[in-house]
Chains A and B, each alone.
Chain A
Amino acid sequence: MPDDDLVGEASRQLTICNACRYCEGYCPVFPAIEIRREFEKGDVFLLANLCHDCRACYYACMYSPPHEFAVNIPQILSEVRLESYKAWSWPSLLAGSFRDIRKGMILAGLSIGVILALALTLLVPAKLFAVHHGPGAFYAVVPFLVMLLPALALTVYGGAVWVIGGIRFWKDTQGELPCPVGFRVLAQTAGDILNLKWLRGGGRGCNYPNAQASQARRFYHSLVYYGFLSAAVSTTLAAIYQDILHRLPPYPLTSAPVLFGGFGGIAIVIGVAGLVVIKTTSDREPAHSQSLGLDYLFLIILGLTALSGMLTLLFRESSAMGIILTLHLALVAALFITVPYGKLVHALYRSLAILRHHLEQSQPNRSARGH
């Protein structure tokens, strides 16, 4: 659906929700609907990013298709989310991949391909296929600066795109940031985000993969989420070991970086596998196929990154280490490159939407009914 039609259609459905309100108890989307009377683009964008796609409202809705009102909030808000990601990302050429999954696949494929090609051309074959032992073994294959500089550059770049996106989000959703943001609001926001609170759906979990409420989605998403955080902790610890304690990797199996990294890798692999399975078996009626494509693309890159990381750990004493490490680094690079143009942006915008929601709800005169 083109942009304007999409916002118009979402607005039509949200107006029906606002006259009904039966779903008020499910999630923050409905209380946020109720303090509005009209749904402009910014409102629709905000609500779409507040929606966690739990689908409780879809199965509760007496107006879902084939009813002539044809209300399908999870589906329309999924599509709006993609449109909002596209609008907030930069530059527009790459942001287009949110609405065209082929672009996203090309971007990811090119990243991996180019990096692998570069690696295989530039790296010294004798070192690539040799067995390496002891401190600095990884850097014998790929020199430290070759690892560090692209990673730093991509982090700065991705961070910049996210900052721009965050500012655009705030402007588009007509936010004013009351200074300072109250502690209560921050605590509620952090709590919701760290808990993945709204993946509880209507209380008993998301209606996912089908009409029955289940904790499966929250469980697998938590594994990916905490696995990801654990991997980030591992990387940070490794940096501290190397630059402050002056100990070069690889680290012993019982060292903190390996333990965090190992837990993270396993959690991500299991979480990704679980999410892919429930997505493939999920009810298509409340789903938006393009969004599903974006989910798969991100999950596959993330899953392969984690898997190759685990394999690097397993085979680090063997002659296969060099090639596995190279592959792993190529996947990490692809992950970094696609971060601003892939599913991971939901972490940014959903967090901001939750913050906006708590700010709105903390305003004393929030009722749109006027009395």
Chain B
Amino acid sequence: MGTRSTTQDSSLTLVANSPTQFDVIVVGGGNAALCAALAARKLTPSVLLLERAPAHMRGGNTRHTRNIRCASVGNGDRSQEYRVEEFLDDLIGVTGGPANLDLAKFAIQQSQSLPQWMSEHGILWQPPLAGTLHLGRTNRWFLGGGKSLVNAYYDALARMGIAVRYDADVVDLLIEDGEFRAVTLKIGDDHEAIRGRAVVVAAGGFEANIEWLKRYWGDAADNFLVRGTPYNDGTMLANLITKDAKQIGDPKAFHAIAVDGRAPKFDGGIVTRLDSIPFGVVVNRFGQRFYDEGEDIWPKRYAIWGRLIAEQPEQIAYSIVDAKTIRCFLPPVYKPYQADSLEDLAGLLKLEAAPFLETIQNFNRATAGNLESTLERLDGVKTRGLTPPKSNWALPIDRAPFYGLPLRPGITFTYMGVEVDSNARVIQSGGRPFSNVYAAGEIMSGNILTKGYLAGFGLTIGSVFGRLAGKEAASHAGR
């Protein structure tokens, strides 16, 4: 797991020698950690944030975000309101039900107050980005995207006098009798201990740790692309589990989407995602279709394709579209493979031609021809007598040139984490919470997310539980 914990003895020596103590130590540097630090600062001036990344990579996966899902009353405009009940229904519909319903309800309830709180801490807003269907009402968009949000929060930290250390590689939490005492940082070959009265662990999931993923996925994990920060290797999650924190969530559960197979192994972010899937068909490396590409509107389905491709042979698939639809989706960052015939396209994609052509022919025959079709809604233009079907936007692939886009699973973040109580305190395997260990963000998202994903909800969880954990940690430290 990449964790090199120091022995208890040497940790104690370090702690005894440590000249520094903070009321609240926040381990992590993304949205949840930043919210925790800001909330803690309201109650105590003694707050330290430890960001493992160097300054230019600060912010964890938050760097790549662009909106946050919030319930709202729509300023009295009924058509713009996003009621708490509807939010919960959306969550249950997409994920099949949260692990802890009370925590999910709490997150949704609290989400209403987030936009104002964020504004107060320097976040600027903008209208929904063009080309993002259906998210205008449910999600709020911050100006400039996640890195701007991260910059604004770090500026707020500086204004409020919150100590920040970059390149702060926390390798161990010293916990005695269920009580946190200090963090241990690795600095070169040395270790440094910093004492704290309470700790908030907001250090992300383990999605960037391919070896850890392999335990559940086998060698398939070698073909996963990690969309976000390479620093989320789960060191803190592993450390908490060795300290008897209670694990929660399916280790194979994650938020993963289809990304271009040519994307970087880490940190490719938003630009490598492909929105072409509903406009054509998707085949695996044997040239066969394997899932209904038109099952539902794209914002409700984009998040299932990572896992679908992860389960295909060699974790690769190909989105095939034709001249009719190539300009219908957001322009991809890598040039699609292009050929004047489907045979040639199969050659370019290194697919065996015969089964691929048969798949396309069968698909085309099952369509009702080139009807009017629009992605703005479920248009009911579907295949007949085909397995798997395509339930909407089923236009034949028949107009040259033809295009192919290689797809790989792009992991955004993992869900398995540590269980928390309603105060964001981490629970021990026996069921009792640690007295002063709190968790927020991805590392505890498994308390709510089980499978599937709702766009912008990761930041909601991070912000709500970050604020809660920071506040609770600070008030514990003040006792």
Q: Which residues of B contact A371 (CB under 8 A)?
A: 328, 374-376
Provide the A208-247 mask, 1 if CB < 8 A to any CB of B, else 0. Answer: 0001100000000000000000000000000000000000
Number of A residues contacting the other chain (C-beta, 8 Å)?
36
User: Is A61's beta carbon under 8 Å from chain B?
Assistant: yes
Taken together as a complex, chains A and B put the C-alpha atoms of A69 and B333 apart, in Å, by: 11
Q: Which residues of A contact B329 (CB under 8 A)?
A: 369
- B145, A22: Cβ atoms closer than 8 Å: yes
- B271, A16: Cβ atoms closer than 8 Å: yes
B401 → chain A, closest Cβ, in Å?
A: 15
Taken together as a complex, chains A and B put the C-alpha atoms of A167 and B56 apart, in Å, by: 43
- A24, B129: Cβ atoms closer than 8 Å: yes
Q: Which residues of A contact B143 (CB under 8 A)?
A: 25-26, 202-203
User: Is B365's beta carbon under 8 Å from chain A?
Assistant: no
Q: Which residues of B contact A173 (CB under 8 A)?
A: none
User: Is A75's beta carbon under 8 Å from chain B?
Assistant: no
- A22, B66: Cβ atoms closer than 8 Å: yes
Stretch at the interface among B101-109, B183-191, B262-270: B262-270
Q: Which residues of B contact A368 (CB under 8 A)?
A: 327, 331
- A21, B129: Cβ atoms closer than 8 Å: yes
Contact A63:B331 (CB < 8 A) given known A25-B144, A202-B143, A371-B375: no
Taken together as a complex, chains A and B put the C-alpha atoms of A31 and B127 apart, in Å, by: 13
Contact A370:B267 (CB < 8 A) given known A62-B146, A211-B151: no
User: Is B380's beta carbon under 8 Å from chain A?
Assistant: no
> Which residues 39-71 of A sit at the B interface, judged by CB distance below 8 A?
56-57, 59-64, 66-69
- B330, A369: Cβ atoms closer than 8 Å: yes
User: Is A15's beta carbon under 8 Å from chain B?
Assistant: yes
> Which residues 143-164 of B sit at the A interface, judged by CB distance below 8 A?
143-148, 151, 155
> Which residues 323-368 of B sit at the A interface, judged by CB distance below 8 A?
327-333
- A18, B124: Cβ atoms closer than 8 Å: no
Taken together as a complex, chains A and B put the C-alpha atoms of A20 and B332 apart, in Å, by: 9
Provide the A1-31 mask, 1 if CB < 8 A to any CB of B, else 0. Answer: 0000000000000011011111111100001
Taken together as a complex, chains A and B put the C-alpha atoms of A79 and B127 apart, in Å, by: 31
- Other-chain residue from A18, A34, A66 in contact with B56 (beta carbon distance below 8 A): A66
- Other-chain residue from A37, A60, A64, A67 in contact with B148 (beta carbon distance below 8 A): A60
A-side interface residues toward B, CB under 8 Å?
15-16, 18-26, 31, 34, 37, 56-57, 59-64, 66-69, 202-204, 211-212, 367-371
> Given contacts A19-B331, A26-B143, A370-B327, could you give 19 more A-B pairs where the C-beta distance is less than 8 Å?
A19-B332, A19-B333, A20-B269, A21-B129, A22-B144, A22-B146, A22-B148, A24-B126, A25-B127, A56-B144, A59-B147, A60-B144, A60-B151, A62-B146, A62-B147, A62-B267, A63-B269, A202-B143, A204-B124
B-side interface residues toward A, CB under 8 Å?
56, 63-64, 66, 124, 126-127, 129-131, 141, 143-148, 151, 155, 264, 267, 269-272, 327-333, 374-376
- Please list 26 pairs of residues, one from A and one from B, whose beta carbons are closer than 8 Å in the complex, sorted by A's number: A16-B271, A18-B331, A19-B270, A20-B269, A20-B270, A21-B129, A21-B330, A22-B129, A23-B145, A24-B129, A25-B127, A25-B141, A34-B130, A60-B144, A60-B145, A62-B145, A63-B271, A68-B264, A69-B271, A202-B144, A211-B151, A369-B131, A369-B327, A369-B329, A371-B374, A371-B375
